Chain A
Amino acid sequence: MSSEQQIDTSTLQRVVAGVGTGQPWSAYQAAARVLDKIPPDEIPERLRARVALLGSFTLDPFLPVLRVEAARVGLWLDTYLAPYGQFLPELIDPESGLYRFRPDVTFLAVDSDVLWNQRWAELPPITSQPVVGGLLTPLFSGLDVFDRAGSGIVVVNDFVLPRRSTEGVNAFRSKGTFAHTVAHANKHLRLRLSLRGHTFLFPLADVVAQVGRNHAFNWRTHYRGHVTWSDTLMAAVAERYVGFALAAIGKATKCIVLDLDNTLWGGVLGEDGPGGIALGPQWPGSEYVDFQRELLDLQRQGILLSLCSKNNEGEVLSILREHPSMLIRESHLAAYRVNWEDKATNIRAIARELNIGLDHMLFIDDSPHEREWVRRQIPELRVPELPADSSQYATWVGSLPSLIVLQQTAEDTRRTAQYSEAREREEYRSATGSLEDFLQGLVLQVQIEPLTDDTMSRVVQLLAKTNQFNITTRRHDETTIRRHLSAAHWRVYTMQVADRFGDFGLTGVSIVATAADHWRIDTFLLSCRVLGKSVETALLARIAADARQAGVNRLVSEFIDSGRNQVASQFLANHGFTLIDDGQWERPLATPGPEWPSWIQEGPRTRYPEGPREAVPR
Chain B
Amino acid sequence: MRLLLISAGLLMIVGMTWALALAPDEAIQGFPQRIMYVHVPSVLMTYLALGLCFVGSALFLWRGDRRWDRLAHVCGELGVLFVTMTLATGTIWGRPVWGTWWTWDARLTTTLMLWFIYVGYLVVRAWAPGTRGARAAAVIGVIGILDLPLIHWSAILLRTLHPQPTVFRPEGPALPASMLAPLGVNVAAFLAIFLVLLFLRLRQERTLDRLVTMVEGA
The finding on whether chains A and B are genuine partners in a shared complex, rather than unrelated, reads no
Q: Name B residues whose Cβ lies closer than 8 Å to a Cβ of A.
A: none
